[in-house]
Amino acid sequence: MTRLPVAPAHTLAERAEEQRWLVDSLWSEEAVGIIGGEPKCCKSFLALDLAVSVAAGAPCLRRFAVQRPGRVLLYAAEDAMHIVRHRLDGICAAAGLDLADLDVQVITAPSLRLDLNADRDSLDETIARLKPRLLVLDPFVRLHRIDENISGEVAPLLAYLRDLQRRHAVAVILVHHARKGAGNMRAGQALRGSSEFHAWGDSNLYLRRDSDDRITLSVEHRAAQAIPAITLELLQRADALALEVVDRTAHAPQSAAPQSVDDRIAAALANNAGQPQPFADLRAVCRVRTTTLYERLAAMTNAGRVVKSGDGYHLAG
């Protein structure tokens, strides 16, 4: 029989190894973990931002440095390929990069199931051949046909990903949904399905929308101190559509400011000296979601407060 390795206690390391990062403060080197959040919290945008940063060696979210850049392997199971391309182009534009210069390899297979041995073997062989620094799988719900609530079914899939990480020295990001209406729960406990997800991660990132439609990013690590929560917004600037870090203190109002979306729209149009304002510019000023802005502009137009023209929107009268 094979004996287990042992060592005298006095030969054990006196202190922990220095923490090593793939992305400073956000993702440990060769870590497995979750990007979690309710639907429409920009989980995929954050995963793609990490992918672009690791491939380029550029700071993630234009703030968090990448220590060891390298190839990224991505499987986007939920979005069409042209949507993935469009999002990557927008993030690259925000970072001043050209997507053609980045080593981001996209798995284009119509399906990939981690509960099928054949698909596991194919993924294993692909990683062995490409040797990526980072593997991104988005989202978990499209990668299996198991019951996510049963620990005995979830654990083998997560164990397989852990095995990939150890054998190929690759970091693994798994995008996963949180339960709806779980805003009062701890972020890790709010993940949908088995508690195995929370226990599995070395580095976990959680996204939540707050009352003013901004996104809060919470960070959690198994073996490192977490940084304070960060406020993010998904902003469109020319061709760049990407998440940006928001400094709440820098944007704090010096006096009473309009609070409702309608008031923000009216204030933005009033400050434009009666000239029509394009939708994209109005969204950047009002800092609201695209769907929300469309809905409120339509309501204000129907109420006669706003006039829509070919050049944009302006206040009535």
Q: Rounded to an integer, what distance in angstroms lies between the CA atom of residue 7 and that of residue 9?
A: 6
Residues 175-217 pLDDT 10s? 999 977 666 667 777 898 999 999 999 999 999 988 777 899 9
Q: Rounded to an integer, what distance in angstroms lies between the CA atom of residue 246 and that of residue 44?
A: 19
pLDDT for 229: 94
- The answer for residues whose C-beta is within 8 angstroms of residue 250's C-beta and 6 or more apart is none
Return the half-sphere exposure (C-beta side, CA atoms, 13 A cut-off) of residue 102: 29
CATH node for 261-315: 1.10.10
Which residue ranges make up each domain of the chain?
19-246, 261-315
Distance separating the N- and C-terminal Cα atoms of the chain: 89
Instruction: Yes or no: say if 92 and 49 are a contact pair by the CB < 8 Å rule.
Output: no
Dihedrals φ, ψ of 28, to 5°?
A: -70, 155
**pTM value?**
0.75
Residues 45-91 pLDDT 10s? 999 999 999 999 999 999 999 989 999 999 999 999 999 999 999 99
Dihedrals φ, ψ of 112, to 5°?
A: -145, 120
Q: Per-residue pLDDT averaged across 279-299, rounded?
A: 81
Give percent above pLDDT 90 in the chain: 63
pLDDT for 249: 55
Q: Are strands 306-309 and 312-315 parallel, antiparallel or unpaired?
A: antiparallel
Q: Which two tokens stand for residue 300?
A: 């204000």
- Mean pLDDT in the chain? 89
What is the CATH topology of the domain spanning 19-246?
Rossmann fold (3.40.50)
Q: Report the range of poorest mean pLDDT among 80-89, 195-204, 229-238, 280-289.
A: 280-289
pLDDT for 230: 95
Q: Where are the alpha helices (DSSP H) in 3-70?
A: 43-56
Q: Higher confidence at residue 316 or residue 273?
A: 316
pLDDT grade, residue 248 (50/70/90)? low
